[in-house]
A and B are shown apart, each in its own frame.
Chain A
Amino acid sequence: MKLAEVIKRLDLKVFAGAKDLTRTVGGGYAGDLLSDVMAHGQKDHLWVTVQVHPNIIAVAVLKELAGIVLVNGREPAPETAEKAKEKGVPLIGTRLSAYEFAGRLYGMGIKRE
């Protein structure tokens, strides 16, 4: 499923990287420890996290993630949004918790680990 469709169906907010929503979401990974995401995130995963600081962008770039979803209504730091734009990383927000958001994604058939 394309990221743009996920955003539409789950009514998500796009903070940055709106140009890169044609990517296919091939699964997801939830976590707030950067090394854990470096170890277990996979290419094309949506990364679900509460971290909003600029260092999350490099993780998404290096792991070729489909995008980053900030949960619990959290807003990115201004430098984070700037970096996301510069590197073409979709930075998205939801009012849902990580648990609820992952459940919705799963319910939409986005399951591959």
Chain B
Amino acid sequence: MTEAVSFQQEFKVKGGDFSRGGEASCEIKNLLRDLGLDPQLVRRAAIACYEAEMNIIMYAWQGQLDLLVTPHRIRIIAEDKGPGIADIKQAMREGYSTATPEMRELGFGAGMGLANIKKNTDTFRITSKVGRGTRLELTIKTNGRKA
């Protein structure tokens, strides 16, 4: 990246740890807000982060969200070590979910997470290796827009 980085931080996410579900996303949201970014953009980033974070908690063993803010974009990389996704097209389809009955009872597993991420970001790239893990590369353009 040739662009000046104004902020970067990593947030660890532990697979299976529902008790901290959403904590990393809340921290990221507060940081973006404190950087003075437009609230609408902050809300979009929060949705994307939350869905990515919960997917790591629900499906992977461990992972992280890497937040990078430059003058023109918010970039989020969500990477995990986990089972990976065999059929990404199927996973992207709204309503498709492999969430367990226990997760569904808590209101998870709507099968809308990846679609929500895509809708709220300007670029969305997903790569996955079965048995290894999954990586999401997301950006939201800010064009220097402040609150």
Binding site for B on A (CB under 8 A): 32-36, 38-39, 43, 49, 51, 53-59, 61-64, 79, 87
Q: Contact flags (1/0) for B34-50 with A, using CB distance below 8 Å?
A: 00000000010011001
Contact at A62–B106, with CB atoms within 8 Å? Answer: no
Majority SS at the chain A contact face: helix
Contact at A53–B106, with CB atoms within 8 Å? Answer: yes
Q: Contact flags (1/0) for B9-26 with A, using CB distance below 8 Å?
A: 000000000110111011
Majority SS at the chain B contact face: helix
Residue of B nearest to A36 (CB): B110
Residue of A nearest to B26 (CB): A61
A57 to B107: give the CA distance in the assembly, Å. 13
B137 adjacent to chain A (CB < 8 Å)? no
B116 adjacent to chain A (CB < 8 Å)? yes
Contact at A55–B43, with CB atoms within 8 Å? Answer: no
Given contacts A35-B51, A36-B112, A58-B22, contact A51 B106 (CB under 8 A): yes
